[in-house]
A = this chain, B = another copy of it.
Amino acid sequence: MKYRLLIAYRGGGYAGWQRQSNAVAVQQKVEEALAQVLSRKVVIHGSGRTDTGVHAAAQVAHLEQPEPVVLDSLVHGANHFLPEDIRVLRADPIGDDFHARKSAVAKEYRYRMSRCRVLSPLAAPFSIRIDPAVDLDSMRAAAQLLLGRHDFTAFAASGGAHRDPRRRILEAEWLERDEALVFRVLGEGFLRGMVRALAGTLLEVGQGRRTVEQFGELLVGAPRSAAGPNAPPHGLVLWQVFYPPELTVPGEATLPSGQPGSR
User: DSSP majority for the A interface?
Assistant: mixed
Which single member of B85, B89, B124 contacts A84 (CB below 8 Å)? B124
**Smallest Cβ distance from A50 to chain B, in angstroms?**
13
Which residues 38-54 of A have a CB within 8 angstroms of B? none
A75 at the interface (CB under 8 A from B): yes
Chain B contacts of A120 at CB under 8 A?
Answer: 8, 57, 87, 89
Which residues 179-220 of A have a CB within 8 angstroms of B? none
A9 at the interface (CB under 8 A from B): yes
Which residues 65-109 of A have a CB within 8 angstroms of B? 75, 79, 84-90
A231 at the interface (CB under 8 A from B): no
Give how many A residues have a beta carbon under 8 Å from the other chain's beta carbons.
25
A121 at the interface (CB under 8 A from B): yes
Question: Is A89's CB under 8 angstroms from B75's CB?
Answer: no
- Chain A, residues 224-236, CB within 8 Å of chain B (1/0): the string is 0000000000000
A10 at the interface (CB under 8 A from B): yes
Question: Is B118's CB under 8 angstroms from A86's CB?
Answer: no
A23 at the interface (CB under 8 A from B): no
Which single member of B10, B88, B119 contacts A122 (CB below 8 Å)? B10
**Smallest Cβ distance from A253 to chain B, in angstroms?**
13
**Smallest Cβ distance from A227 to chain B, in angstroms?**
28
**Smallest Cβ distance from A25 to chain B, in angstroms?**
15
Chain B contacts of A237 at CB under 8 A?
Answer: 122
CA distance A35 to B117 in the complex (A): 22
Chain B contacts of A75 at CB under 8 A?
Answer: 117-118
A249 at the interface (CB under 8 A from B): no
Chain B contacts of A79 at CB under 8 A?
Answer: 118
Chain B contacts of A148 at CB under 8 A?
Answer: none
**Smallest Cβ distance from A223 to chain B, in angstroms?**
35
Known: A10-B121, A57-B122, A87-B119. 7 other contacts (CB 8 A): A8-B122, A75-B117, A75-B118, A84-B121, A87-B120, A89-B120, A90-B118
Could you name 19 residue pairs across A and B whose Cβ atoms are closer than 8 Å? Answer: A8-B120, A8-B121, A8-B122, A10-B121, A10-B122, A57-B120, A75-B117, A79-B118, A84-B121, A86-B121, A87-B119, A87-B121, A87-B124, A88-B118, A89-B118, A89-B120, A122-B126, A122-B237, A125-B125
